[in-house]
Structure 1
Amino acid sequence: MWKFSIRRILIMIPQIILLSILIFMMAKMMPGDALSGLIDPNIDPATIEERREALGLNDPWHIQYADWVGGAITGDLGQSFRFKMDVTDIVGQRIVNTFWLSLATLIFTYLIAIPLGITSGRYNDSWLDQSITGYTYLGFATPLFIFALVMLWIFGFHFGWFPTSGSVSPGLEPGTVDYVISKIYHLILPALSLALITTVNTVQYLRSEIIDTKQKDFIITARSKGASESRVYNSHILRNSLLPIAAFFGFEITGLIGGTIFVEQIFGYPGMGQLFLESIMIRDYTVVTAVVLLFGIASILGALLSDIILSLVDPRIRIK
């Protein structure tokens, strides 16, 4: 187990290096550079050239890449021309909101998916199973941004049950009970909107696992020995069907990254996704490269977590 984990971590290192190179090269190919938004383009060209030289923008790409990576390792991701502050500070403010949104979405996802998947798999081909399967088909066919807009209009604007923007009500002091309640209240609708769409994969997978497990030889043997139906399901079918779901926990985290980008923008939730889209629109490349790098590392770590959990669930499995 330890050898497998160390091997996967060692494989992750060149993946992160390759990811950083691709992000840096794509940023270099975009129009403009880190200086574009910091100064007035109408000033003396000689002054602009002096600033470019001072910032190292005329250096060869590999030297600029080494400086960028060195800064990222030490926590210096550059400065945002929009916010006029360090990117590290901006990301530090936003990443907390995205973390809580992702955590709430995961909780909602499993609270919804596991009961529906178990019910659909146990009573397959019944009207209940057909209803749940219909919900998953509808979820597969519905774009997330359309569903989020509908949820926002119905429960935010029409009924007014939830806030329509922000992560906390203004004027509340951090650390107070009212502040925590307001944070949770602002989380519910965007997290639930994202969970209701992302949960369909888990429901379908769990349903298929249960149906497949019911036909295994050891299940037939358990029934032939006179085991009760509840014991067969609880001790054999569910236990074997739920283990693979745990193994895909890391991939759920990876899938949330794309979802939070749209949801945060639609609900005006100040997280990493909203910061990413806003920075693209105003060409704040320093912020864009930092956010893409963090999202990419999070995806790699999610895949690593899934591989480790999978090896714990079934020691026979070793991903090379």
Structure 2
Amino acid sequence: MWKFTVRRILIMIPQIFLLSILIFLMAQAMPGDALSGLIDPNLDPKEIAKMREKLGLNDEWYAQYIDWIKGAIQGDLGESFRFKMPVSELIEQRLINTFWLSVVTLIITYLIAIPLGITSGRFNDTWADRIITGYTYIGFATPVFIFALVMLWIFGFHYGWFPTTGSVKPGLEPGTFDYIVSKIYHMLLPAISLALITTVNTVQYLRSEIIDTKQRDFIITARAKGAPESRVYNRHILRNSLLPIAAFFGFEITGLIGGTIFVEQIFGYPGMGQLFYESILLRDYSVVTSVVLLFGIASILGALISDVILSLVDPRIRIK
């Protein structure tokens, strides 16, 4: 098992390296650079040219990349001209909010998806299956930002059951019970909105796998031997059908990254998604490149976690 994990980590390293080069080159193609927004536009052009030369912005792209990646490894991601603070500190503040939002979203997603997928697959072609399948079709067709806006209007503005902005009630002291409760309360509506959309993929995967597994020879043999139906489902069908869910875990993380960008902006939730969106609009060069790099690394780590989990569940996929 450890050999497989080490091999996957070694494969991940060049992936991150290539990702960083791609992000850097795309950032170079953006209007402006890391100095944009930090200087007075009325400053003498000669002084601006000297500052660019001092910062190495006139060097070849590979020299700038080496300086950038060295700083990133050491935790120096530059400075945000909008927030007037180091990008690493800014990301640290926002990353905590996005992390917990993603954790709560994943928990809600699986709490909804697994029972619906099992019900739909076990009782396929029934009214329950048709209702669940109809829900997944609607979910596939509904953009997450439209659904989030509807949820915000109904449960935030119309009924007032949930807060409509922020991540915690102002004035509460961090670490207190009221602070934690307020954090969870502000997180629930964005998490539910995102989970109700992302859950449809898991439901369909699980349903299809259960229906396919029910028709396999070893299931027919188990039933022919007189095994109880509950045992056939719990020990044979369900156990084998959950394998794709483990493999799909990494894609869930990737999907959450894209979803949080819209959801955090709509709900005014101060996380990485909102930071990324606002930084693009303001062309905050240092923040954009850093956030995209972290999002990319998170996607690669998600794929790694999926492979490790799947190898634990099904040892046959391990590379010898």
1:147-186 equivalences in 2 (<5 Å): 147-186=147-186
Letter of the 2:81 counterpart: F
Which residue number corresponds to residue 100 of structure 1? 100
Offset of 1:4 from its aligned partner?
1.9
| Partner amino acid, structure 1, of 2:61 | W
Name the structure 2 match of 1:115. Answer: 115
Distance 1:319 1:296 in 2: 25
Looking at structure 2, the residues matched to 280 and 139 of structure 1 have their Cα atoms a distance apart, in angstroms, of 28
CA distance in 2, matches of 1:26, 1:242: 39
Q: Tell me whether 156-165 or 52-61 shows the greater mean CA deviation.
A: 52-61
- Checking the alignment, whether the CA contact within 8 Å between 1:121 and 1:210 is kept in structure 2 is yes
Aligned to 1:25: 25
Aligned counterpart, 1:53: 53
Alpha-carbon distance in 1 for matches of 2:34, 2:207 = 50
2:65 corresponding residue in structure 1 = 65
Aligned amino acid, residue 121 of structure 2: G
2: CA distance, partners of 1:200 / 1:68: 40
1:166/1:268 contact within 8 Å kept: yes
Letter in 2 for 1:120: S
Q: Deviation digits for residues 162-187 of structure 1, max 9, x if unmatched?
A: 00000000000000000000000001
Identity %: 82
CA distance in 1, matches of 2:239, 2:21: 43
Deviations 1:268-289 (A, max 9, x none): 0000000000000011010000
- Could you list the runs of 5+ residues in structure 2 that have no partner in the other structure? none
Q: Deviations over 1:99-145 (max 9, x none)?
A: 00000000000000000000001110001100000000000000010
**Structure 2 counterpart of 1:203, one-letter code:** V
Aligned residue in 2 for 1:210: 210
Report the AA paired with residue 198 of structure 1.
Answer: T
Partner of 1:200: 200
* Residue of structure 1 equivalent to 2:299: 299
Q: Is the 8 A contact 1:307 1:319 kept in 2?
A: no
- Structure 1 residues not aligned, in runs of 5+: none
- Report the equivalent of 1:248: 248
Q: Which amino acid aligns with 1:221?
A: T
Corresponding residue for residue 238 of structure 2: 238
Q: Aligned-pair distance for 1:211?
A: 0.7
Matched, 1:278 2:278: yes
1:319 Cα offset (Å): 6.3
Superposition RMSD on alpha carbons, in Å?
Answer: 1.1
TM-score (norm 1): 0.98
SS in 1 for 2:38: coil
Kept after mapping to 2: 8 A contact 1:151/1:193: yes
User: d(CA) in 1 for partners of 2:161 and 2:59?
Assistant: 55
* Equivalent-residue separation in structure 2 for 1:206 and 1:31 (angstroms): 45
1:250 to partner: Cα distance: 2.1
Question: 1:9 Cα shift?
Answer: 1.1
Structure-2 separation of matches of 1:135 and 1:114: 14
Structure 2 distance, partners of 1:276, 1:176, is: 30
Range moving further from structure 2, 218-227 or 289-298? 218-227
**Partner Cα distance (1:307, 1:230) in 2:** 30
Cα distance in 2, alignment partners of residues 106 and 5 from structure 1: 24
Q: Is the 8 A contact 1:247 1:313 kept in 2?
A: no
Counterpart CA distance in 1 for 2:219 and 2:186 is: 46
In structure 2, C-alpha distance between the alignment counterparts of 1:212 and 1:195, rounded to whole Å: 26
Secondary structure (helix, strand or coil) at the match of 1:83 reads coil
